[in-house]
Structure 1
Amino acid sequence: MENKKSMHSNDRLMKSIEKEVSKFSQHFMSNAKWIKLIDHLVDNMDEIKKIQFKRIQDDTIGELYLDENSSFEFDYWNTAFEGINSFGGWLQYKEIEYLSFPKLIDRNTEQNLEKISAVIQTIGQFHLETDENELRLICYKK
């Protein structure tokens, strides 16, 4: 049961997110697009070994913990992830500036960025940027 303090805290968080979102001139994602993307990533987890993200509120890089057992209305919802990120707790989709798929996972493991890009592009149009080290799915641009 939520109390007044937790409701006010959530309101402050949402206002803070909206303030940061307003600093970007280009918005490439919607909640519906996020759900399609996550569903598709979960269905193709054999190709995806690591997903990082950058929040709009700061320069901190986090990690999403999706796997083949991640499911809608258990791990992710209409507007947010619940606890399947390195920060714990809720992570609103609208507070993610970009997703990053690094090529090098560790000394012995790499991700195939071309295959991940192909997986993402089967869903629809996304703003992707790539170089030899990572693939980025851009959610906002200034």
Structure 2
Amino acid sequence: MSEKIEKIILEKYSGSFMNNSKWVKLIQKLIENFDVIKKCNVKFIYDDVIRSLIITGDEQYNLDFYSNSMEGMLNNPIVPGWTVYKEIEWISFPYDTETVQDMLKIRQEIQMLGKFNDELTDDYYRIYAYK
């Protein structure tokens, strides 16, 4: 699986902006601020399916997410239950009439962790792992 992931990344993207350490810090920050996050979407490098990241605020390191992957936090993962961080192209916080969330607050909290390749529009706040 790792070779397949590396091949896709090399063929499709010219830049990589996340590593496992940044993913762990980001997930920890999302869990700390789960009450601010109404909806969080994830897109994998393999396809165009938009998946939901499920955050309840009870997730724990070495139980739900680990140094290089997460377990059971995404709907419809490629490998049942498990998602390797390298599989994620971007993570996004949508804003629409059904999902009103404070994207500026989310962005502010995340930017306290460090520099991310991100984008803020009227429709979403997105953090890119690859472009």
Q: Judge same fold: TM > 0.5, yes or no.
A: yes
2:82 to 90, 106, 109: 90
Per the normalisation by structure 2, the TM-score is 0.92
Would you say the 8 A contact 1:49–1:105 is kept in 2? no
Which whole-Å CA distance do the structure 2 matches of 1:19 and 1:66 have between them? 30
Using CA pairs under 8 Å that are at least 6 residues apart, name the structure with larger relative contact order, 1 or 2: 2
Instruction: Report what 1:16 is aligned to.
Output: 4
Number of positions where the alignment pairs a residue of Structure 1 with one of Structure 2: 127
Match of 2:59 in 1: 70
- Which of residues 100, 108, 126 is equivalent to 1:118? 108
* Distance apart, 1:105 and its partner CA: 6.8
Amino acid at match of 1:127: N
Give the Cα–Cα distance (whole angstroms) in 2 for the partners of residues 16 and 92 of structure 1: 12
**Unpaired segments ≥5 residues, structure 2:** none
Which one has the bigger strand percentage? 1
Q: Which runs of 5+ in 1 are unaligned?
A: 1-12
Partner residue in 2 for 1:132: 122
Shift of the alpha carbon at 1:14? 1.9
**Conserved in 2, the CA contact under 8 Å of 1:105 and 1:111?**
no
Q: Secondary structure at the match of 1:116?
A: helix
Point out the more displaced range, 16-25 or 52-61: 16-25
Q: Distance in 2 between matches of 1:71 and 1:33?
A: 16
Aligned alpha-carbon RMSD (Å): 1.2
Match of 1:34, SS state, is: helix
- CA distances 1:78-129 after superposition (whole Å, capped 9, x unpaired): 11111111114111100100001001272xx411111111011011001111
- Partner of 2:36, secondary structure, is coil
Instruction: State the one-letter code of the partner of 1:128.
Output: D
> After superposition, what is the alpha-carbon deviation per residue over 1:28-63, rounded to whole angstroms, capped at 9, x for unaligned?
000011111111111111111111010001111111
2:102 partner letter? N
User: Which has the higher Rg, Structure 1 or Structure 2?
Assistant: 1
1:3 maps to none
Whether the 8 Å contact between 1:83 and 1:90 is mirrored in structure 2 is yes
Alpha-carbon shift at residue 66 of structure 1 (Å):
1.4
